[in-house]
Amino acid sequence: MAAINPAVQLSRKANRILKEEGIRIVLAVSALLSVATTAGIVYTLASESFHFFQQVSPAEFFLTTDWAPLFSPPRFGVLPLVNGTLLVTLVAAVIAIPLGVASAIYLSEFATQRSRAWIKPILEVLAGIPTIVYGFFALVTITPVLQKIWPQTQVFNVLSGSIAVAIMILPTIASLCDDALRSVPDSLRQGGYAMGATKLEVTASVVLPAGLSGILAAIILALSRAIGETMIVVIACGGQPNITANVFEPVQTMTAYIVAVSLGDTPHGTIGYLTIFAVGGLLFLITLCMNIVSHKIMRRFREVYE
Amino acid sequence: MGRQGLGTERDARINRHLKSRHLKAQVFKWVCFASTWVGLVFLVALLFTVSQQAFRYMWERTETNPFVVREMIEHDPSFLARAEEICWGFEAVFTPLDEAALRTGRDLRIQRMVKFHDQQSFLITLREDEPELYSQLGINPGNGTRWRMLASNFAQFFNNFPSRNAENAGIRSAIAGTLWMITITALIAIPLGVASAIYLEEYTRENRISRFIEINIANLAGVPSIVYGLLGLSLFVGYFSMMKTRFPDSEMFSNPRNVMAGALTMTVLILPVIIISAREAIKAVPASLRQAAYAVGATRWQVVRHHILPAALPGIVTGVILSISRAIGETAPLITIGALTYVAFVPENVFSGFTALPIQIYNWVSRPQKEFHDLAASGIIVLMIVLLSLNAFAVTIRHRAERRLKW
């Protein structure tokens, strides 16, 4: 083998180091872009909301109960929108949490390996369906059925949207709770059975408490998804800002308001344009807090069992 | 004796108690089982409804027994007999009523209402699923109704632009818009996402900054999609609007709500998902592979390029496909950035205005007429076929990789 000229070798090495460094920098810049995205979201929402709150006092925004920003005189009480969002989320939670946790218990405690192998993928299919499809389903199928059962149901109503939202978050709850329950060590269950407990007793007093933090994290994550859900409530729940607890009436959620304004032509910088950022900022804060709490709980629970 | 009696009594009590405990356990099992089925039943119901409605659009019913208003029957007894003929060629004979009248017609559960040129007589076709109305009017609905597939409907649906008239509406511009947007999104998001994942997994040590980025990305994945729409509206649409005011004559910036703005919005939306799944895939590559490569003198990039990426590829591809399918189905952010809902052209370049399949579907769903709901269902079927095949593809890749590679 011919000896390589030391100068060539050196320049090759320099080239290689240069290339390595270049690639490293390119990759680092890509990774930083994700941080830039967050910064972009926070900056956008904060600066436009700031312009908004220069024109509307925070006290009016958070404390009054009339939302009509495009009327004259405009009124900026965000509580009807918050009420709409919370009502839809609450009803969806009442439906989805018991069903989701029970499905998770079935999957982790009762189901055979074979039935798990096909039930889980089907639940994943449910999770992959675009929300516009759920919205269509709510309007075209669920609402007429509700109207047959309760004739006072209006065409746009909370219940129909909530049911669709519940179906949408069901796979999230079921799949994450299933993971949480399966990570409970089998020795705990066997201890319970050794004492002569039935499957119900073991599940209710051993497995569920042990997996509780995981279940909680899953539920919070799913609820934050329900709060941010847009297309279902836009299609099924109507567009009237409304403070009500009646699930047969229409409401407007925060997300539905943003869509309603976006569909119209609202020029940059007008008060209508600024309101969607104020509402969006509030939505972002709520979901961010829920996500952070959920991740905190999940991390704690991981430390215990891994 | 007394002791034994006590024992049997206690046994009996325990037995009763045991029985009720077992019963409760049994009931509990069935409750959980039923809950699992609720989700599955809803999935089936959803697919069924959508396909049924799409079917209604794609297959037109041939009315062989239409209802003609009483005046018409009294006026001309032979009218009913000729109804089929007349119904077939109705477009030549009748002109449709205006939309307001059609809407009233819909309230009366009437499928089609056409008016004679004399502006006085009507031909009305009732919906098949309104038996009471038929019986009220004393006619037999089921008799002679048959289905005929409209091959032309099918071709029309893909070839036509949206229209105010449900019978001529199609999804050509929506499909073109979605294809443009997704292609650009993929071109930007995939390299960026995979590069970030490689950097975070292979180039950084566990420290505060990397942990901060990790938490940051996890939280980004949980941000509601509509908030990304607001980001896109303020940043990308804002940028293109600024360019438009700066270059008012430029053809390029004539529409600030263009394909590029949509694609960039979708990119920031799916980037966290791609990064998270690519990191998982890279993490799953065993350390021994890396160590072996380093041991023979490979540089970091050589290790990544020749060993990590090939081994992690199936996992990365799966994650990428799933995130792209999410982008295809997203509606809210596109509405927020103001993508058009009525587009009668195919985008020519990345600065054209555009619509996308989910937006077109939303547009049809939000109309009151049932005909447009049927159209929406057909659009949903197209969307679902695309998404389900993408999902199936992803699952197949994962399955194959799991079988082939055993660490």
Indicate yes or no: CB of B28 within 8 angstroms of CB of A200.
Answer: yes
In chain B, positions 235-274, which contact chain A (CB-CB < 8 Å)?
235, 238, 241, 268, 271-272
Q: Choose between B260 and A242: higher pLDDT.
A: B260
For B21, residues 6+ apart whose C-beta sits below 8 A from its C-beta are: A198, A200, A201
Instruction: State yes or no: pLDDT of B320 exceeds 90.
Output: yes
| Domain contains A45 | no
Alpha carbons A116 and A55: distance in angstroms, whole number: 56
Higher pLDDT, A283 or B122: A283
Domain hosting A194: range is 75-305
Mean pLDDT of chain A: 86
Name which of A264-268, B17-21, B131-135, B257-261 the model is least confident about: B131-135
Note whether B199 contacts A255, CB cutoff 8 Å. no
Query: What confidence score (pLDDT) does residue A3 get?
Result: 61
Question: Residue type at B294?
Answer: Y
How many structural domains does chain A have? 1
Identify the CATH number of the domain in which residue A280 sits: 1.10.3720.10
Within B59-171, residue ranges assigned H as helices are: 70-75, 79-88, 90-93, 99-107, 131-137, 151-159
CA dihedral A57, A61, A62, A64 (to 10 degrees): 110
Cα→Cα distances B71→A28, A165, B121, B126, B137, Å: 79, 49, 8, 16, 12
Residue in chain A nearest B27 by alpha carbon: A200
Q: Is the pLDDT of residue B314 over 80?
A: yes
Other Cβ atoms less than 10 A from the Cβ of B391: the count is: 18
- Predicted pLDDT of residue B165: 67
Chain A interface mutation, best of B226, B270, B325, highest count of A Cβ atoms under 10 Å = B226
Predicted confidence (pLDDT) per residue in B238-253, tens digit:
888 888 888 887 777 7
Are B282 and B304 in contact, with CB atoms under 8 Å apart?
no
Query: How far away is chain A from the Cα of B68, in angstroms, using its nearest Cα?
Result: 28
Which of B187, B190, B52, B40 lies closest to B129, judged by CA?
Answer: B52
C-alpha B274/C-alpha B190 separation (Å) is 7
User: CB of B13 within 8 Å of any CB in chain A?
Assistant: no
Nearest residue of A to residue B200, measured between CA atoms: A31
User: What pLDDT is attached to residue B115?
Assistant: 44
Binary contact (A130, B219; C-beta < 8 A): no
Pairing of β B59-62 and β B67-68: unpaired
What is the interface pTM, i.e. ipTM, of the complex?
Answer: 0.87
State the smallest CA–CA distance between residue B126 and chain A in angstroms.
19
State how far residue B407 is from chain A, nearest Cα, in angstroms: 21
* A2-32 pLDDT, tens digit each: 566 777 777 888 888 888 888 888 888 888 8
Query: What was the pLDDT predicted at B334?
Result: 92
Give the rounded distance of the alpha carbon of B134 from its chain centre. Answer: 36
Alpha helices in B284-369, H assignment, sequence order = 287-295, 300-303, 309-329, 332-337, 357-365
Residues in chain B closer than 8 A to A135 (CB atoms): 362, 365
CB count in 10 Å sphere of residue B363: 22
Q: Is there a contact between B195 and A40 if contact means CB atoms under 8 Å apart?
A: no
Rounded Cα distance between B284 and B38, Å, is: 35
Task: Give the closest of B195, B216, B387 to A38, CB-based.
Answer: B216
Mean pLDDT, residues B281-308: 90
A106/B35 touch (CB, cutoff 8 Å), yes or no? yes
Q: Please indicate if any CB of chain A lies within 8 Å of the CB of B220.
A: yes
Candidates B203, B69, B194, B79; CA nearest to B137 is B69
Contact B35, A106 (CB under 8 A): yes
What pLDDT is recorded for position B4?
54
Hey, are the CB atoms on B329 and A31 less than 8 Å from each other? no
Q: Whole-angstrom Cα distance, residue B252 to residue B240?
A: 10
Residue in A9, A24, A37 to test binding to B, most B beta-carbons within 10 Å? A37
Residue of A98, A136, A170 lying closest to B365 (CB–CB): A136
Min CA distance, A244 vs chain B (Å)?
A: 24
Residue A161 CA, distance from chain mean position:
15
Residue contact B222–A221, C-beta within 8 A: yes
Question: Is there a domain that residue A57 lies in?
Answer: no
Residue B358: which of A28, A99, A132 has the nearest Cβ?
Answer: A132
pTM: 0.80
**Distance, CA of A280 to CA of A274 (rounded, Å):** 10
Domain-embedded: residue A30 = no
- Is residue A79 domain-resident? yes
Average pLDDT, chain B: 76
Q: Which residue has the higher pLDDT, B272 or B7?
A: B272
pLDDT digits (tens, 9 = 90+) for B72-95: 444 555 554 454 444 433 332 333
B342 has a chain A CB within 8 A of its CB: no
- Give yes or no for residue B267 having a pLDDT over 90: yes
Across the interface, whether the CB atoms of B43 and A122 are under 8 A apart is answered yes
pLDDT at B122: 44
Residue A119 belongs to some domain of the structure: yes
CA contacts within 13 A on the Cβ side of A248: 11
Q: What share of chain B is helix, strand, coil (3-state, %, to 5)?
A: 70, 5, 25
Say which DSSP state A2 is in. P
Test B325 with A128 for CB contact under 8 angstroms: yes
- What is the average pLDDT across B313-334? 91
Question: What Cα–Cα distance (Å) separates residue B358 from each residue in A4, A230, B30, B55, B354?
Answer: 62, 13, 39, 19, 12
Confidence of residue B60 (pLDDT cuts 50, 70, 90): low
- pLDDT tens track for A60-79: 888 887 888 777 778 888 88
Residue A267 lies in a domain: yes
Interface contact flag, A133 B380, Cβ < 8 Å: yes
- Give backbone dihedrals phi and psi of A159, rounded to 5 degrees, phi first: -60, -45
3 state SS of B205? coil
User: Could you tell me the pLDDT band of residue B150, with boundaries at 50, 70 and 90?
Assistant: very low
User: Does B49 contact chain A (CB < 8 Å)?
Assistant: yes
Q: How many CB pairs under 8 A join A and B?
A: 262
Q: Is B336 on the interface with A (CB under 8 A)?
A: yes
In a 10 Å sphere around its CB, with 0-12 CB exposed, 13-18 middle and 19+ buried, how is residue A32 labelled?
Answer: middle
A52 within some domain: no
Give CA–CA dist A241/A79, Å, rounded: 9
> pLDDT-based confidence at B181, cuts 50/70/90?
very high
Whether residue A33 and residue B196 make contact (CB cut-off 8 A), yes or no, is yes
CB-CB neighbours of B46 under 10 Å: 23
Q: Is residue A8 part of a domain?
A: no
Q: How far is B114 from chain A (nearest CA, A)?
A: 26
